[in-house]
């Protein structure tokens, strides 16, 4: 059963990256130089893919597709730390496979370093905000007892679609996605010198929200016990 979960994580993350990179390539080619139209196509395709993938694969693996989500669950005590490394490997490997698949579909070199600069404090802070929002939304949904894979998929897709537009970084919010997007010199790429700052911001947000959510839950439980 563990291999099935890991396979679902790897395949899901691969399709997610194929959607992100592939739609970026297609959008840029068809937009005639209009970056706004290209970003709209990219964001809609990514949100659509997320909705479908989470709805289909959440019952198997939880449909994390994101090391930040996996780490957040472990920080909140909702996932065994022993499972975390294998999930992270599956997600990162799947992300790279997805980039190669997108390049193959558009007849591009399979491996290429991105030259798209995404650096600076504003970009890093955007990644902190985007990631904090994502893991925060998931923590709140869990706090309510969950809403099922289809509704979760719709809510996550809606958040990611919005975050594409309200963050300066276009909301990577995912360390595996960040690593893989350094390997595509296309619309959705990120130059390697921006990767470390992005991932650091994403992990900081994950720890802040995941640890904070666990502390609040523990405090709430203690207060309930004290009033009994």
- The CATH number covering residue 57 comes to 1.20.1080.10
Tell me the per-residue pLDDT of 63-122, one tens digit each, with 9 for 90 and over: 999 999 999 999 988 999 999 999 999 999 999 999 999 999 999 999 999 999 999 999
- For residue 139, give its domain range: 2-226
> 212 pLDDT exceeds 70?
no
**Could you read off the pLDDT of 22-32 as tens digits, one per residue?**
999 999 999 99
Query: Considering its fold, how many domains does the chain have in total?
Result: 1
Q: What is the pTM of this model?
A: 0.91
Whether 111 and 100 have beta carbons less than 8 Å apart is answered as: yes
Torsion of CA 60, 65, 68, 72, to 10 degrees: -10
Query: What pLDDT sits at residue 91?
Result: 98
């Amino acid at each position: 059963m563990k291999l099935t979960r890991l396979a679902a994580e790897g395949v899901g993350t691969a399709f997610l990256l194929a959607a992100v990179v592939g739609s970026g390539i297609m959008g840029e080619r068809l937009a005639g130089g209009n970056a706004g139209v290209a970003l709209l196509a990219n964001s809609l395709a990514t949100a659509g893919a997320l909705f479908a993938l989470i709805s289909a694969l959440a019952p198997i693996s939880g449909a994390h597709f994101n090391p930040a989500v996996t780490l957040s669950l472990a920080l909140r005590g909702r996932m065994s730390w022993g499972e975390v490394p294998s999930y992270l490997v599956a997600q990162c490997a799947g992300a790279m496979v997805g980039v190669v698949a997108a390049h193959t579909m558009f007849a591009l070199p399979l491996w290429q370093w991105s030259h798209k600069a995404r650096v600076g404090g504003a970009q890093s802070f955007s990644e902190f905000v985007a990631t904090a929002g994502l893991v925060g939304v998931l923590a709140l949904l869990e706090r309510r007892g969950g809403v099922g894979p289809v509704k979760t998929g719709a809510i996550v897709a809606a958040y990611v679609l919005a975050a594409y537009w309200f963050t300066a970084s276009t909301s990577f919010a995912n360390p595996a996605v960040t690593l893989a997007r350094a390997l595509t010199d296309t619309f959705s790429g990120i130059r390697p010198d921006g990767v470390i700052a992005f991932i650091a911001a994403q992990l900081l947000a994950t720890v802040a929200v995941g640890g904070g959510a666990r502390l609040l839950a523990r405090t709430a439980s203690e207060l309930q016990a004290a009033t009994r």
